[in-house]
Amino acid sequence: MNLTDKIALVTGGSTGIGRAVAESLLAAGAKVAITGRDRARLETTARAIGAHPVQADVSNEEDVERTYKEVLDTFGDLDILVNNAGLGVFKPLVDMDLASFERVIATNVTGAMLMGREAAKIFVGRHAGHIVNMASTASLRGAAGGTAYMTSKFALRGMTECWRAELRKHNVRVMQINPSEVITDFAATAGFAQADHPSKLQSADIAHMVTAVLEMHDRGFTTELTVFATNPVD
């Protein structure tokens, strides 16, 4: 797909991977809307990169419906959804509280479903569209402390496969990106330490791959792409 003048919606676009994806798509010629819950941070990013901001919580159905209305009112159509919004909580099972677990599932699973559902309504009607789900290598294996986050990414992987099976006949490409460790503010927000090093993946590396899978000719698509650092050093 030639991204020139295509319309993309990137959730969680204020910081980290989401912001980098939005910047990459804009550089390729797309028109981009970004969502985020923090209005000040969202609007600062939107001004800096030239995106359209929509303050919204993807786990809130009314916010999701309003997001699509605003995007369609602003741009008139939609070609791409990048389901990037996500958060993490990492605790041993014996310490996992219900509120934390439900908060992760609400954003990473329910929010992705709500955004995907509304995009699919548009894409099925126009017989074309592109959904990129930002998963993780956490969708491929479990680990201690991962009850909430890894469960959410396993679920996202399952939804991606279901959507792909449903939507291919409508010429809709559903793709999944699995980053391994990326240097963002995700770790600090999730409450664990992250050692930075130039050998580790950066947000721009993941954004590059999102743009690459979208730019492939529409007759084919990359179903899933896993990205590792070559030789990361802690």
Separation in Å, CA 211 to CA 46, 93, 167, 224? 19, 37, 21, 14
User: CA nearest 33: which of 86, 81, 87?
Assistant: 81
Catalytic residue among 68, 123, 149, 154: 149
Largest CA distance in the chain: 50
What is the residue type of 95?
A: D
Q: Which residues of 161-177 are buried (b: 16+ CB within 10 A; e: fewer)?
A: eebbeebeeeebbbbbb
The SS3 of residue 131 is strand
Residue 121: both structure tokens together: 């309504």
Residue 44: both structure tokens together: 């600062």
Cα–Cα dist 224/164, whole Å = 11
User: CA nearest 59: which of 17, 115, 9?
Assistant: 115
Residues in the chain: 234
Sign of the four-CA dihedral 112, 114, 116, 119: negative
What is the residue type of 168?
A: R
Q: Could you give the angle at the alpha carbon of 208 between the alpha carbons of 57 and 6, nearest 5°?
A: 65
**Residue 149 annotated among the catalytic residues of the structure:** yes
Positions marked catalytic = 149
